Structure 1
Amino acid sequence: MTELELIVVFALLSGSTVFFGGLLSHYFGSHVTSGLIKAEIIHSSTAFGGGILMAAVALVLIPEGMIALSIVPMALFFLIGAITFFFIDRYMQRKGGAMSQLLGMLSDFVPEAIAMGAVFSQNPQLGMLLAIIIAIQNFPEAFNAYLELSAHYSAKKCLIILFVLSFSGLGSALAGYYFLSGMPRTVGALMLFSSGGIIYLIFQDIAPLSKISKNWIPALGACIGFLVGMVGLELLG
């Protein structure tokens, strides 16, 4: 396979779990009826997704962004990301929608897919491993995003939204490959912008949603999610 064909295949692989995570969430909602068990699974999944997002920020996005940029632009892009997501979140709340998991997934998925495309021209093996890790990250995040979307839209519309978004990784990877392969500072700025937004979403929306009174299992889910990110980083070498 050519380099471009590899990028297309692995970008589609990394994005496919956005749809399949939502599909699993749909069937979970239809077939799991026990209130207590259902609540524990939902909150643990939310915490697990938050742990993966935090791992993506702490282990991939911020370290790579800090390597690419000096201290002033580093701080600037991080703060711009946090403030931007603050206003987006307030706008969503005024409109009556809660989409923190969906925003968190996209703010993690898109910059990593761009980075995947950008590094493919220099290190295809690294690009392939990054695609696999992105696919693992997307699955629980899409599971939770479907649960949020289902409170506002029909099941069919939720799945259509996630199906369309699953292709955002392909567009992002191709953009990274064609336009950003020789622009590490731009990729770094994008990663730091996303990091600021993700951290805002985790502490404002995702972590509070994962809490259940007198139940400690979701917190373990967050730890396991972070561990998945650590293992992914080790796989990248």
Structure 2
Amino acid sequence: MLVLTLVAGMAMPAGALLARVERIHPHWLETEFRHAVVAFGGGALLSAVALVLVPQGAARLQAGTAALCFAGGGLAFMALDMLLYRLKTQAGQLAAMLSDFIPESLALGAAFAFGSQGGALLLAGLMALQNLPEGFNAFRELNGDRGRRAGQAIRAFTLMALLGPVAALTGYFWLSAYPELVSGIMLFAAGGILYSVFQDIAPQAVLKRHWAPPMGAVLGFLLGIIGHMLTGHGA
């Protein structure tokens, strides 16, 4: 459990290191690659929502409670987005990255406690898939592309990765006694992720007169489907 959450978290600094590659030639390929990475992250996030967070979260809750948790997640992420805008900070992608990583790590720890090994493995894989492009995008957003600032950003991303095992332990030892609360957290995270996908990620993936980047979203979701089937959930 600790290894899975740590590996998923380390995808954030790995994405930042990838973002430091400043020159991909020709120029159109560099531009298309960046948009494809954004779209891939969006596809992976959607697969986490559709294949793990919503099905498992809704399984233990009444419809009204599930709807409130899901809508609450969207509203919370919207409020965070509005706050970041008013503060005029460039850390929106960074905040969104942490906002979905922590609840997912909590849910992963609880999944291990419930004995749902396949679901935990699938969630960990999807977390890694989404954290890589999120780390890439957050690094670009912070403009930490050179010198000392770049090193500070990567170190910060590495420290943030350590929050994953801490959250997983919390989910394993504490939240596992409250399965309905875990379900609520999963749906809350799903609502927030869905808001982020359409507010931040999908608009960034659009590139006029280029048709390859949207395939990044398809591939990101496809990997989620493959993982879903390989862990026995697609049977």
- Scaled to the shorter chain, the TM-score interval is 0.7 to 0.9
Q: Which moved more, 1:81-90 or 1:105-114?
A: 105-114
1:20 and 2:20 correspond:
no
1:11 and 2:9 correspond:
no
Q: 1:163 corresponds to which letter in structure 2?
A: T
1:150 and 2:143 correspond:
yes
Could you tell me how far apart the structure 2 residues matched to 1:133 and 1:79 are? 22
Q: Secondary structure at the match of 2:207?
A: coil
Runs of 4+ with >6 A deviation? none
**In percent, how many aligned pairs have the same letter?**
40
Shift of 1:171: 1.0
C-alpha spacing 1:93/1:152, structure 2 compared with 1 (3 Å): farther
Shift of 1:137: 3.1
Aligned to 1:219: 214
- In the alignment, which of 49, 52, 55 is matched to residue 44 of structure 2? 52
User: With structure 1 as the length reference, what TM-score do the two structures score?
Assistant: 0.87
Aligned to 1:201: 196
Alignment of 1:1-237 (within 5 A): 7-26=1-20, 28-29=21-22, 31-32=23-24, 34-123=26-115, 125-126=117-118, 127-128=120-121, 130-150=123-143, 154-237=149-232
CA contact (8 A) 2:48 2:126 kept: no
Could you tell me how far apart the structure 1 residues matched to 2:213 and 2:96 are? 18
CA contact (8 A) 2:105 2:167 kept: yes
Q: Which moved more, 1:176-185 or 1:40-49?
A: 176-185
Structure 2: runs of 5+ lacking an equivalent: none
Cα offsets for 1:51-75 (capped at 9, x unmatched) = 1111111111111111021111111
C-alpha spacing 1:33/1:134, structure 2 compared with 1 (3 Å): same
Q: Secondary structure at the match of 1:181?
A: helix
Shift of 1:182: 2.4
Shift of 1:122: 4.0
CA contact (8 A) 2:32 2:213 kept: yes
Q: Report how many aligned residue pairs link the two structures.
A: 229
Could you tell me how far apart the structure 1 residues matched to 2:88 and 2:28 are? 26
CA contact (8 A) 2:70 2:188 kept: yes
Structure 1: runs of 5+ lacking an equivalent: 1-6
Could you tell me how far apart the structure 2 residues matched to 1:193 and 1:143 are? 24
